[in-house]
Structure formats: structure tokens, C-alpha cells
Amino acid sequence: MIKLILTNLHGIKDYCFSITTVFNEDHYYLRTFDDINESLSIYYFIEFGEVIVGYLVLYKFNTEVCKRIFVLESMRGIGIGSEVFKQVNIKSLSCYKDNDLAISFYLKNGFEMKESSQMHLVRFEKI
């Protein structure tokens, strides 16, 4: 069972630091928070079987917009992200144009690719 646990930016950053050392995940996840305004975001840990396996960041004033979703590489492909999307009413999100794995995942979960005003991003909306 997937559970979302409310947290804060410091909790997410600490988690990302731990996974870069414990799980050998890429340090990229520590650098991805420079563009997140803490007061404008809501943060959740994603828990699966009493283990934190990822996180979700939503915009505080429009929780239908997903700022970021992350699931540990070793836990991908078993439905965790899809289950999160069932629990949270996300209508819009974006990712880097070269992130083929994310693009495939979003399309599989009922999102449609839209034009983006930013050249390096692709935007998705729920169908």
C-alpha cells in the first residue's frame, strides 16, 4: 500500500542526501531543489511497505500541478508512481524533453503532451 506523508523541504533534502549515499542514487537529486520556493510548495514522502521510496512536490496554491515526483530507481516499474497519481488529483506537470522514462510514464498514466513555453521542458495535462 502506498501512503503519502506530509513533510517539508528540509526533510526531502535530508532524504535525497541519504539516498545518494545509501542507494548510490545520482547526486542530481540534491541539486534539483534550487528552483523550488519552499513557501509555495507542499512536500510528501512516498511510503511503500513502511519504507520511504520517493517524494512528491506540489504547488501550494494549485495542488493539481505537480512540481516534482521521484521514486527510487530500484522501486520503479511496480506501480508506485501510478498509485500516487490515483491518490492525488494531478492535472498538470512537466519534465525535461530528454527524460524519455518520465515522458513514457506520464503518457501511460493518462497525460497528454502539450506545448511548453520553455525550450528544455515538455508540459503534460491530464486527458
What are the mean pLDDT values of the chain's consecutive 10-residue runs (127 residues total)?
86 71 48 62 90 89 90 91 95 91 95 86 92
pLDDT number for residue 36: 61
C-alpha distances in angstroms, 62 versus 11, 106, 109? 22, 19, 20
pLDDT number for residue 80: 96
pLDDT number for residue 24: 46
pLDDT number for residue 37: 64
pLDDT number for residue 2: 93
pTM for this one? 0.83
pLDDT number for residue 19: 64
Q: Of 43, 91, 89, 50, which Cα lies nearest the Cα of 68?
A: 43
